[in-house]
Structure formats: structure tokens, C-alpha cells
Amino acid sequence: MLRMGRTTILRLVAFSVLTSLLAGCATTLPSLEGRVATTALTDTAGTRLGRVLADDVAAHPGNTGVHPLVKPRDAFATRVLLAAAADRSLDVQYYIWHGDPVGYLVLGALWQAAERGVRVRLLLDDNNTRGLDPTLAAFDAHPNIEVRLYNPFAQRSGRAFGYLTDFQRLNRRMHNKSFTADNKVTVVGGRNIGGEYFGVGSDMVFADLDVAAVGAAVDEVSKQFDLYWNSPSAYPAASLVGTPGPEGAEPLKARFAAARADPESAAYLEAVRTTPLVRDILERKLSFEWATSRLVFDDPSKTLDTSGRTDHLLFPALVQAIGKPEETIDLVSPYFVPGDEGTAALVSLARSGVKLRILTNSLAASDVAAVHAGYAKRRLDLLRGGAQLFELKPTATQELPADSSGFGSSSSGLHAKTFGVDRARIFVGSFNFDLRSALLNTEMGLVIDSPSLAQQMADGFDRTVPLLAYEVVLGPDGKSLQWIERTPTGEKRHDTEPGTGFFKRLGVGVLSVLPIDWLL
């Protein structure tokens, strides 16, 4: 047995006493007794969206019409305009909703819909609602709005203590993202609600991807929403954040007005005025690409079930839906932590002759250095196995060609989660290629049988990605790495991770030897 010093023993005893005290005073979650189960409104054929889409949907039975949302302001405007076009219902589900001008602009759009009589259901993961309790209390108090918080913190302040006393539960989060109007149009993909996801007003602006979908996929998304909304992990907000004070909704309305008046909001409001997507839908001008699709998602029981079951997980269903690659895989994941098994599977595919290209964040562009550590230790194995690796530059905004459409919102950080197989099928959703998405968080996304979209993605790797990213290659000795940077004046080769300092690289190196891939 290892001998421990007296100081070590005292520290362990102190920690045990502290955690016992915290556990003893931990606040419990409220009862779900009295919570009313509700489901998506399906009698929406007579709504504006229902009427204008009826002929197109009838002409493509069982199929889904999709329209990619690459440009960030278009993605923002589409959500706001769908809220304005809704007549009966809005079902909205997100992992992150920031209390910045963008967050309040979208909340304001939902509020205005509720004022017209639209039923609004807002389901938010509770991990990122810090500071929003007064806003959520006032928002939830509207008679046509209901807010539920997923897997919530019982203690509203000092949330770190919640992790000390209930880590196993709180470490599992709802990462799903969807925005559905009148059960007729839905937006799914990688974007949360906040300035950095829509291109303005943040030090970190993300490249991301959503799709607007109509037809068969919308019913699937609505059923998925209902499953989460009525799950044991979804708590009525009022039971946690209380009710608004005597001033009622006035502070919230003032926040809406301040968001509209914010100088940085001008670009978003102009986007609402000029983005043609929803107007084109209502005027029957927009041509969707129609294809077969399948929604894949984790069962919400994943959040509370620690038994190791796999029958309720998205990843096996995703593998089945996307099919076995025969020729190519183009994979985009901002948080790429494949682990031992994932790395072995990817290497096996590459060695069998499948062309494997991967785009993730460079260390200089990553917003989570620890996640980069989980990826960095796999680079040699992937390259030796035949994969091509690209890491997005932090300067991608300035270097994006004006006529590029492959990853048109590329900027200082990658956030899109998508991959294409055999230039025939594509996945768009919330799933990162990491162990957290596979085993801990809940995820969702669409697998679309679309050679057109898959080919656009492949073209992006052919033409745009090499300009926006460093290509990582083996050094001359086969044991080291080099980063190729392509510039207008030629290629540069870097022997260390570009744009990073020694201590940042050292920290990543230390983290990479720790057995924490499952946590990243």
C-alpha cells in the first residue's frame, strides 16, 4: 500500500467533511406532480405556412424538403421570421441561450408571437441559464408561453456546489437544437442562440450550419420535442425560478427594447428585413431540395440512465442511417475527440481505401483547449492510417474568398457538426464526434440522402478548406507533425502549432496524457 503524508491525509479528510456537509444541505429538485403533458399541435393545415406548403408536401409524400442555412445572419433572420409567420405554435429547444442582444431579440420575437395568440413552448438545458432566472420567470408568466428547464440545478446560485453533490446527473446535458413553427417548418443544426453563433458582436464568431426543413422531417422533430418536453428531466420553470415580481413583465419588455436599440443589433434587424427565405416560402417562390431523410436522436432517458444501455443512443442509429462508407467521408467537428475505438474505426476505413478528410479547430482557434488535448494525441495515428487532417485558422474570417460558398460563415472558430458520405448522404445536427456526445449528452440531427448537399460539402473540402485551415501532415521523420499554411504568396510550413505559445502547448500536452476523453 502506498504511504500517504500527513498533509495529504488531512486534505482528504477535509474534502470528505466538506462534501458531506454540502450533500447534507443540498437542495432537492421540486416535484413534477401537477405538471401537464402537452404535445405538438397537428391541426395546422390552415395556417399560413400550412397553406403555402400543402401542394409541395403533397407532391413529395414521405420526403423532406431542405434548405441549408450557411450564412449566420440568414440563420438568425429565419428564426425571427418563422416566429413572425407562425399562427398556432412555436416549439423551441436549445442547449445555450445567451442573455445578449441576439438572445433578447429572439425572445422578443417569441413574445410577440405569444401576444398574437401563438402557443410557445421553450425547452432550455439549464446548464447555461445562469443569470437568466428573472427573465425566464417573466417570460414563463405569459399566458401563452410555457418554459421548461432540462436537467436543472436545484440550487440556483452557487451552481458549482451542485456539481460537487450531484455530478453524475448534472454532467449529462441536453445538447439538442430545434426551432419549429406551426409543425410545418423546422430549423435544426449546430447553432445555439447568441451573438457568436450568428456572426456579429462577439470576440469569438463561429462557423456553423443549420438546415430549414419541411415535410416528413418536421413531424419527426415535433415528436422528438414532445418526448423531451414530457420527460422526467423537464421541469416547469416556475417551480425553479419562481414568478415575476410586482413589476411583472415590464423589466423584460425594457430588455426587448434595449436589444432593438443596441447598435450591434442593427445588422440583425436589417437581416430580418432583407433575408428572403421565409418571404419566399410564403410567396411560394422558394424551391426546397426534396430527399428522403431520417431524424436520429438520443432518447431523453439517456440523461438519467447510467446502466450502460446503448439501445437509446443516437450514435448506433446514426451509423445505421448514414450507411457504410465505400469511397469518401468528409467530417466536420469542432470538438473532435474520437477516443481509442473511434480512432481505430476511422483508421480502418482509411486503410480500406475510403478517402477520409477531417476538419476541426486548430489550437489557436479552439475555445476549449482541453478538448483539443483529447484530439491532439490522436493525430499521428490518424495520419499514419491515411486520413487527411485540417485545422481551422483563427484568421479564417479575413481569408475567406468572396465567392466561396462551402463554409460561407467561416470565422475565428468552427462550430458546425456535419459529415458527408460517398458524396451521396449528409448529416446535419448537434452531434460532435466525441465521447461526450456519444455517451453523456443528448443529441439530434438529420441524415439526408442528398447528393447535391454532400457534393457541396466535398467541394468545400476541395476548394475552400485548404485556404481556411492548416493541413496537418507527418514530418520527414514520420514521428513529428508539420502544419501547412497556404497563402497567396505560397505555402508556409510550421513545426509547432501555429499561433500558439509554449505554455499553451505545454498545457495541452499535459492534459493529453490524462484519461479524461470521456469527460471532454
The DSSP bridge partners found for residue 149 are: 124, 235
- 92, 120 in Cβ contact below 8 A? yes
**Amino acid identity, position 307:** S
Catalytic residue among 98, 177, 302, 393: 177
Three cell numbers written together for 324? 457504410
Among candidates 325, 330, 298, which has minimal Cα distance to 314? 298
Distance in angstroms (rounded) separating the CA atoms of residues 450 and 459:
14
Q: What is the 3-state secondary structure (H, E, C) of 364-413?
A: CCCCCHHHHHHHHCCHHHHHHHCCEEEEECCCHHHHCCCCCCCCCCCCCE
> Is 381 designated active site?
no
Catalytic choice (56, 182, 449, 517): 182
* Candidate list 417, 434, 449, 517, residue with the active-site label: 417
Per DSSP bridges, beta strands 481-487 and 413-414 are: unpaired
Closest CA to 190 of 172, 178, 204: 178
Q: Is 71:408 a contact under the CB 8 Å cutoff?
A: yes
210-215 and 234-236 strand pairing: unpaired
Beta strand segments in 182-322, E:
185-189, 206-207, 210-215, 234-236, 289-291, 293-297
Q: How far apart are the first and last CA of the chain?
A: 32
Annotated catalytic residue: which of 415, 434, 449, 517? 415
Could you confirm whether 302 is annotated as catalytic?
no
One-letter amino acid at 257 equals A
What does the alpha-carbon distance between residue 153 and residue 127 come to, in Å, rounded to a whole number?
Answer: 8
Per the CB < 8 A criterion, the answer to whether 457 and 330 are in contact is yes
Whether 223 is catalytic: no
Q: Which of 426, 468, 438 lies closest to 211, judged by CA?
A: 426
Sign of the Cα torsion 321, 225, 331, 462 reads: positive
- 182 catalytic? Reply is yes
Q: At what angle do helices 250-261 and 265-274 cross, to 10 degrees?
A: 80
Q: What is the largest CA-CA distance in the chain?
A: 78
Sign of CA dihedral 291, 207, 73, 179: positive
State phi, psi for 161 to the nearest 5 degrees. Answer: -65, -30
- CB within 8 Å of 86: residues ≥ 6 apart: 47, 49, 113, 118, 181, 182
Query: What is the 8-class DSSP label of residue 236?
Result: E
Cα separation of 17 and 11, whole Å?
10
**C-alpha cell of residue 179:** 426551432
β-strands 119-125, 89-94 pairing:
parallel
Q: Which of 67, 98, 175, 393 is catalytic?
A: 175
Active site residues: 175, 177, 182, 415, 417, 422
